Amino acid sequence: MQPNQFDRLEILVGEDNVKKLHDKKILIVGLGGVGGYVTESLARSGIGNITLVDYDTVDITNLNRQIIALHSTIGKKKVDLFKKRITDINKDCIVNTCDLFISDDNYLDIFNNEYDFIIDCCDSIKAKKLLLKESIERNINYISSMGTANKIDPTKLAIVELSKTVNDPIAKLMRKYIKDEGIKDKIMVLSSTELPKKNGNKLGSNPFVPPVAGLLVGNYVVSKLLDNNLQNN
C-alpha cells in the first residue's frame, strides 16, 4: 500500500478521525506569530476547509517569530502566502481568504461560510469582542489567543478559562467585556501567567512564546474536534 501524508497521524488517532478532520471548516483570524503556527498545525493535521482573515503584509520585524516571514516574503500579503503554503502542505484543503481588518461594518462578511471552530489570534480588542459575541450567538466553538507580547517563557502558556487568567493585560480587558455584557458562557483562551516585561509602549517578542502558543491552540482545536479523544486512540 502506498503511504499517504497522514499515515503518522492515523497511527495516533485512527483513520476515521483523520477523515473527520478533513470534513471540518475552520475560521482563523490573525496570521501573526500565534495565528501562523495555528494555521500550520491545522494544515498538517488535515483540516479540509480553512478560512483565513488578515489585512497585513509581512514586515521585516516579523522575521524573529512568524513562520511565514522570510526575506523573500517581506511586503507580501499574509493571506496569499498562507493560502499557497497550506495547499503546498495539503493539496486537498479548500482555503478561503479575506484580506480584511475587522470592524463593525464588515465583520459579518466573514460569516458567509459555516464553521466548526472560530480561532481568534488577532491583535484588535474590538475584533476580539465582535468575534466572541458572534461565536456565542451562532453557537460555534471558539478559542481566543490573549497577549504574548513582552513575555519570554513559553512554559507559562496554557489553555484556560478566561475567568482564570492572570498577568495578561488583554485578558483583563476581555474579562471586563464579558462582565459588562453579562456573558455567562465558558470562554476558553490561550494565556500566559508570566508578568509581561515593562518596555514602555514597545512590544517585544521572541521566537518561542508565539509559536508555542499557536501550537497549543492548534492542539486544543484538533482535540475538541475529535471530542477530546486525541490522546485516547
Give tens-digit pLDDT for 154-175.
Answer: 999 999 999 999 999 999 999 9
User: Residue 157's beta-bridge partner residues?
Assistant: 192
For 65-73, what is the mean pLDDT?
A: 98
**Per-residue pLDDT tens digits for 37-46:** 999 999 999 9
**Per-residue pLDDT tens digits for 104-158:** 999 999 998 999 999 999 999 999 999 999 999 999 999 999 999 999 999 999 9
Q: Which of 101, 98, 128 is nearest to 113 (CA)?
A: 98
Q: How far apart are CA 233 and CA 217, in angstroms?
A: 20
Q: Is the dihedral of CA 219, 225, 227, 229 positive or negative?
A: negative
Question: Model pTM?
Answer: 0.95
Instruction: State yes or no: pLDDT of 68 exceeds 70.
Output: yes
Query: Which of 14-18, 58-62, 65-69, 197-201 comes out lowest in average pLDDT?
Result: 197-201
Please tell me the predicted confidence (pLDDT) of residue 181: 96
| C-alpha distances out from residue 164 to 71, 125, 142, 172, 209, Å | 39, 19, 17, 10, 20
Homologous superfamily of the 7-225 domain (CATH): NAD(P)-binding Rossmann-like Domain (3.40.50.720)
Instruction: State yes or no: pLDDT of 214 exceeds 70.
Output: yes
Instruction: State yes or no: pLDDT of 51 exceeds 70.
Output: yes
Tell me if 25 sits within 8 A of 116, measured CB to CB. yes
Domain boundaries, the chain: 7-225
Q: How far apart are CA 191 and CA 168, in angstroms?
A: 7
Q: How far apart are CA 55 and CA 67, in angstroms?
A: 17
Dihedral of CA atoms 188, 195, 36, 176 in degrees, nearest 10, equals 40
The larger pLDDT score, comparing residue 187 to residue 232, is at 187
